[in-house]
Structures are given as structure tokens and as C-alpha cells.
Chain A
Amino acid sequence: MKDNLPRKRMVNVGMGILGVVISLDGLTMPFRSHEMTTIPVHHLLHSGMAAGAGLLAMALAANLPRRDRERGGWVLPAVLAPVAGLALMWPSEYAYLMGHHWLHFLDHLGIALCSLLAVFAAQAYVRGLGWPTLVYQHLERSQQSGHPAAGDG
């Protein structure tokens, strides 16, 4: 049991670092890439960034004290944050955002924060619910690739 503790901590730190790297890559993308991709590819990139933010959330939630009871206040953010995150993936605005890097950055920041909040909140509500939320969210965003905008090239 004692041997497992440092290993768990190492896994958490590794997961957190991986999450930060993926999230930072997604957040800084608007300043590094100025080419318009297709909407499905753009949404796939968002889903990758959301997964990174989710990993970071799981690493952060590992520090929450163990508790057998529900933390009921966390349910609403766990359910509503993905709604807000999806609303930020408004396909018809991408062309405008591609020309305004800071706005695009803020959009990515919002998507990443929504993912982070949803996964952290689910894990905070009841330990163990963070992982399914992370996977569901990742699938949700990647599935939005079936959502082409008018004039999607």
C-alpha cells in the first residue's frame, strides 16, 4: 500500500504535466497556425485540447480529500460546463476568429476551462465520475465534426 502511494503521485504528476502540455499546445495554436482547416478537423483539435484539460483536472482532483458522501454542489457545473464548452464551438464564427488571434485564443481558453471544470466537478461530486466525464466530453467534441458550417471547405 505504501509503495503504491509514490507511484500514484507520480502518475498524477505525469498526468498533470501531460494535460498542461496538451492544453498549452491547443491554447497557443491560434498564434502559431493561421490556416483555416475544415470544421471537422478544427473540432477534432478542440477535442484533443479538451482531453488535455480533462487530464489536468483529474490530476488536480486527486488532491481532494476522500469522502463517501456526495458533494452535491458540484453536479451542476459537471452537467452545464460541457453545454457552455460546446456553445463556444460555434462553426460559423471560425472564419472571423481565424483573423482575430486573441479572440481565437480566448475561445480556446473558454473551451479548455469548461472541460477542466466539467471533469473536476464530476470527480469532486463522487470520486470515479471524472474519468467517464472526460471520455464522454472528448467523444462529444470529436463527434461535433459531423457539424459542418455553410461554406465549409
Chain B
Amino acid sequence: MFGITDPAIWVGYLLALGFTLACLVYGLLNWNKGTEEEPDGS
């Protein structure tokens, strides 16, 4: 994948990108949650 043949490397890249995406999605979904008046349950 992308010129890298060892799965142990490209899986690492996919996971790094996946976690970054998870951070983006989490931040957007919880953008207005968790004010002092409104506990976000976590």
C-alpha cells in the first residue's frame, strides 16, 4: 500500500490516520457537550 509492502508498517499508518479521524469525529460530535451545567456523562 502506497509503496510499502510490509503490512506491519502500513497497518501502523492506517491506524494513525484512523485515530486522527476518531479525534476529529469525537470533537465534532461533542462540540457543545460537557458544559458545567450539562455533564457529558463521561
A and B interact physically: no
Hey, which bits of chain A sit against chain B, CB under 8 A? none
B-side residues, CB < 8 A to A, are none
